[in-house]
Amino acid sequence: MPLTCRGQCRRRLAAATATACVRCVFLCNPNTKLSSNPVLDAYMAKMRIGLIGCGNIASDVCLAIRDRDIPAEVVALTDIVASQAETLRREYKLNASIGTLEDLAGAVDFIVECASPAVVPEAVTLAIRHHVDCLVMSVGGLLEHPELFDVARRNNITLWVPSGAVCGVDGIRAAMQAGLDEVTLTTSK
């Protein structure tokens, strides 16, 4: 059964790891609205994003940028498997550097973490250090380090979290209001 986005677009999802596509999550950022003015769109396309992890979700981001659904350009990539980053760069004809997490964070305006929960603490810490907002797709990494929310907030960094990524963070909040005290989450990739 194909998965479809529960966000604005209702498109078929390329990755089966979320219930809202990256396009809809990214476009929630008020700084990334598309206009009907091509000159303004060209200016906005200069938002430089870096992708941490170069798998299916990163491919979805690249498709959305290529299709002009996300007004940005990918300028930096990093992946634990360097050949994955090279493949993504070649496949989407990106003019992006491939380097370390530190290199990426220092070169971008916005970070998209789409790797694994294990990388989330370092990704968010680097986003804070380099004063850039971060979209965290591996929500489980934030659940293990809730202090990152407070640190980001104190440093005026926005952590974007897709609500559908963990059975719906909204669903967990609702269950908490109904008396839920504890949740055990088991995921696989």
Of 143, 181, 170, the residue nearest 159 (C-alpha) = 143
In the structure encoding, which two tokens stand for residue 122, read together? Answer: 């370092």
pLDDT at 182: 79
Given pLDDT bands bounded at 50, 70 and 90, which one contains residue 185? low
Distance of CA 58 to the CA centre of its chain: 8
Write out pLDDT tens, residues 25-55: 555 444 444 444 555 455 445 789 999 999 9
82 contact partners, CB below 8 Å, separation of at least 6: 98
Does the CA dihedral 153-159-160-161 come out positive or negative?
A: negative
Helices marked H in the chain? 22-26, 38-44, 56-66, 82-91, 101-107, 120-129, 139-143, 147-154, 169-177
116 contact partners, CB below 8 Å, separation of at least 6: 53, 138, 141, 189
Write out pLDDT tens, residues 89-121: 999 999 999 999 999 999 999 999 999 999 999
